[in-house]
Structure 1
Amino acid sequence: MIEVNHLTKYYGDHKAVDNISFSVKDGTVCGFLGPNGAGKSTTMNIMTGCLSATSGNVTIGGYDIFENPIEAKKQIGYLPEQPPLYLEETPREYLRFVAEAKKIPGETIKTEIESVMEETQITDVADRLIKNLSKGYRQRVGIAQTLLGNPKVIILDEPTVGLDPIQVVEIRDLIKSLGKKHTVILSSHILSEVQHMCDEILIISKGKLIAYDTTENLEKMLQPKVTLEVETDALREESEQVLSAIRGIESTEYVEEKDGLLKIHIETTPEQEMAVRKVLSLEFARINRAVLKSGTVKANLEEIFIELTSADIQDDEEDDPEEAEELPEIAEISPETPEDKEVNKEEEESE
């Protein structure tokens, strides 16, 4: 559905997007992560045709966003971080304006508006001024306008920023439901949110694509070892004796001893994990002690994100400065106009 190939964007001498390539399959909810200034908003603005690229191409539903922008943009519904709402209009009036701007046939506009209002649950406030709506409802209005014309791709930039916890949950549920009918790309700084909603996760740092996979595969990539968390009623001395005799255990850490229970982290390999689990229970039972809990400690998305982006920053600092100077003068391919500079300034601030 979405193909991004060798996309690069320069702002003067600054490379905001660095030769990134990825594809998003039809019906996927894809999380787009990166630190501030990583190039997320720049990439999304290029994908939606709101910003030119220095080099590379983007294809949406088979249409090149630069060579065939009208057809490509028909495939996209886009909600920027700041929803482009007209506060003195009602949601119904605003959606009619957007529908006409999208050149939706006049005879179907009313039906489409009613449909997207129902889907985003704003029918009850359809005739109130947008300026009088809560931020959660305003965000729903913004999402409703992305759905007009039934685009195949929905792109949402920080859709839950500034919302209260109840509104966040409601918008999350809405986005998950959208993923059943559309391909969704979602950027967010709330990593648990992305983990909760998305099928795949794309991580960008310093303009470079550093990871693109499912959360499960990212965990495996960063955890060549398996950490088992075990809780037992055995004494520490007894546990040390038991664990020292079990093959496949590479290291142990005694995390906590509380209320007569001992919590232990045991490091092993994926290949040895099941064998170690079986022997653990048997060996503790042999000394009349119980394994009360046993589970796997997994890296959460925050840890994955920090490890990947920190490694990228370190690698960047270790690059040979002379090699960095050998980059071709790609910026000359698309010289900046005064209008570009104004857009670039806004992009750098939004990043």
Structure 2
Amino acid sequence: MSIEITELSKSYDTQKAIDAVSFSIQNGEIVGFLGPNGAGKSTLMKILTGYLIPDSGEAIVNGFNIDHQIQEVKKSIGYLPEHNPQYLDLYVREYLSFNAQVYGVEKLRIEEVIQLTGLTPEAHKKIGQLSKGYRQRVGIANALLHNPEVLILDEPTTGLDPNQLLEIRELIKNIGKNKTVFLSTHIMQEVEAICDRVIIINKGKIVADKKIDKLSNGNIQLIEVEFDLPITEELLLTIPEITAAILMQNNVWQLSFVSLQDVRVLVFDFAQANGLKTLQLTVKNKNLESLFRELTQS
């Protein structure tokens, strides 16, 4: 087990950032960590990396307990923080060499991580001369210097253009072939493209923990429907087998059902019984974005 968290909690004054969170991550998994702003993602990652101390609960990383083996924990993880602080006036190799000395790593490892992260064409430049995408590569290379078993990435693709985003995505997937990767992001497509599994946190609590290939459950159906008149969520929730109703815009609703039958019939029957007309109705597949909206709407 790479990461094992049990009933972990952390508060800032009266605000509970993490509330009795529990989950585990197996060796070799790439796990996406999602949640709205302020949901507790960064707090949890900072606890795992030793930057914050939890109020209660237990966290074990690579077999080491963060309460009394924090130095061993830090040695066994690589961490890329959200804002990726760097010395912009240093050359790439100079920066990595400085950090290699801190880690006590042989200089040979510097060239290995440069090649692994695709930095070779830019390695002769100062970090301040690099694009945002290549600066992220430098951050990931730095996190890999000591060859950690677990890589923790906080918003690794924020601010990247589409080409850079694809490049970093492929880099993370390649790294994930040999290491456990735990990453937070706001980009749903990233999680679906990179990760084996997704964990969603909302208001400090875990609200979903699913394998990516299990998101499309044959029993789960999504309907997007536009009615001719305004209607309340309470009334929509009287439709048989409905599980959620989310107002998308004006009179357009996204309805979630758990059913083996064609639920369009239920929607049409509901509209007729309540004197409504359906201006449009579309069947949609359950995906990560719809699950996220459903679980974090309130």
Q: TM-score range by the shorter chain?
A: 0.7 to 0.9
Q: Tell me, in whole angstroms, the C-alpha distance in 2 between the residues paired with 1:170 and 1:225.
A: 33
- Within 5 Å, give how 1:317-332 maps onto structure 2: none
Cα distance in structure 1, aligned partners of 2:7 and 2:164: 37
Structure 1 counterpart of 2:294: 307
Amino acid at match of 1:179: G
Q: Which residue of 2 aligns with 1:174?
A: 171
**RMSD over aligned Cα, in angstroms?**
2.3
Residues 205, 198 of structure 1: CA spacing in aligned structure 2 closer, same or farther, 3 A cutoff? Answer: same
Give a deviation string over 1:27-80, Cα, whole Å, max 9, x none: 000000000000000000001111111111211110012211111111100000
Aligned residue number for residue 136 of structure 2: 139
What amino acid maps onto 1:85 in structure 2? Answer: Q
Q: 1:199 aligns with which of 191, 196, 200?
A: 196
Is the 2:8–2:20 contact (alpha carbons within 8 Å) kept by the matching residues of 1?
Answer: yes
Alignment of 1:233-272 (within 5 A): 269-270=259-260
Question: Highest Rg: 1 or 2?
Answer: 1
Secondary structure at the aligned position of 2:107 is classed as helix
CA, structure 1 residues 225+172, in 2 after alignment: closer, same or farther (shift >3 Å)?
closer
Q: Judge conservation of contact 1:200–1:215 (CA < 8 Å) in 2.
A: yes
Percent identical among aligned pairs is 49
Q: Does 1:154 align with 2:154?
A: no
Q: Residue 135 and residue 225 in structure 1: after superposition, are their counterparts in 2 closer, same or farther (change >3 A)?
A: closer
Q: Which residue identity does 2:137 align to in structure 1?
A: R
Q: Does 1:78 align with 2:79?
A: yes
For 2:154 and 2:259, how far apart are their aligned partners in 1? 39
1:216 positional shift: 3.3
Separation in structure 2 between the aligned mates of residue 129 and residue 225 of structure 1, nearest angstrom: 51
Structure 2 counterpart of 1:147, which letter?
A: L
CA distance in 2, matches of 1:214, 1:176: 16
Match in the other structure for 1:36? 37
Matched, 1:125 2:122: yes
The answer as to whether partners of 1:39 and 1:206 remain within 8 angstroms in 2 is yes
SS of match in other structure, 1:66: coil
Runs of 4 or more consecutive aligned structure 1 residues displaced over 2 Å after TM superposition: 215-220, 223-228, 267-270
More strand by share: 2
- Relative to the length of structure 2, the TM-score reads 0.78
Give the partner amino acid of 1:160.
T
- Which residue of structure 2 lines up, in the alignment, with residue 6 of structure 1? 7
Distance, in Å, in 2 between the alignment partners of 1:308 and 1:181 is: 32
- Counterpart residue identity of residue 128, structure 1: K
Structure 1, unmatched stretches of 5+, are 229-249, 251-266, 274-295, 314-351
State the secondary structure of the residue aligned to 1:84. Answer: coil
TM-superposed CA distance for 1:127, in Å, is: 2.2
SS at match of 2:209: strand
Task: Give the C-alpha shift of residue 193 in structure 1.
Answer: 1.1
Query: How far apart, CA to CA, are the structure 2 residues paired with 1:185 and 1:198?
Result: 9
Please give the TM-score of this superposition, normalised by the length of structure 1.
Answer: 0.67
- Alignment match, 2:52: 51
